[in-house]
Amino acid sequence: MYSNETAFVVYPNPFSTSTTLQIKGPFENGPFELNIYNILGQELKKIKNISSSTITFSTDNLPQGIYTFQLSGKTGAPATGKLLKEQGFKEPSNENRDLYFFTSG
């Protein structure tokens, strides 16, 4: 992994009640902000001032569907990805992981 590149994993994905984003690599551009959008691009959830490398958030108030997220820091391009919420989905502990990369400058 390059020094200016940060990877993060999302697990589980798909999910039913909560999901976790875990940032791996340099964590010098925090604090971060996480935004969740529906398929129409409407912002549904915003989490500000994230200073931890692991973010777990509840999705109980979101209906079943496809969502996008944007993780942004002070510098560099924001990272984006997709989330899938399925009602009644049996979530495995750490088996379904999506890996994303973004460059921070």
Residues with Cβ within 8 Å of residue 52, at least 6 apart in sequence: none
DSSP letter for each residue of 59-88: -TTSPSEEEEEEEE-SSSPPEEEEEEE-TT
End-to-end CA distance of the chain: 14
pLDDT in tens, 48-58: 998 888 889 88
Residue length of the chain: 105
* Rounded Cα distance, 105 and 102, in Å: 9
For the entire predicted model, the pTM comes to 0.73
pLDDT in tens, 61-89: 889 999 999 988 776 677 888 999 987 65
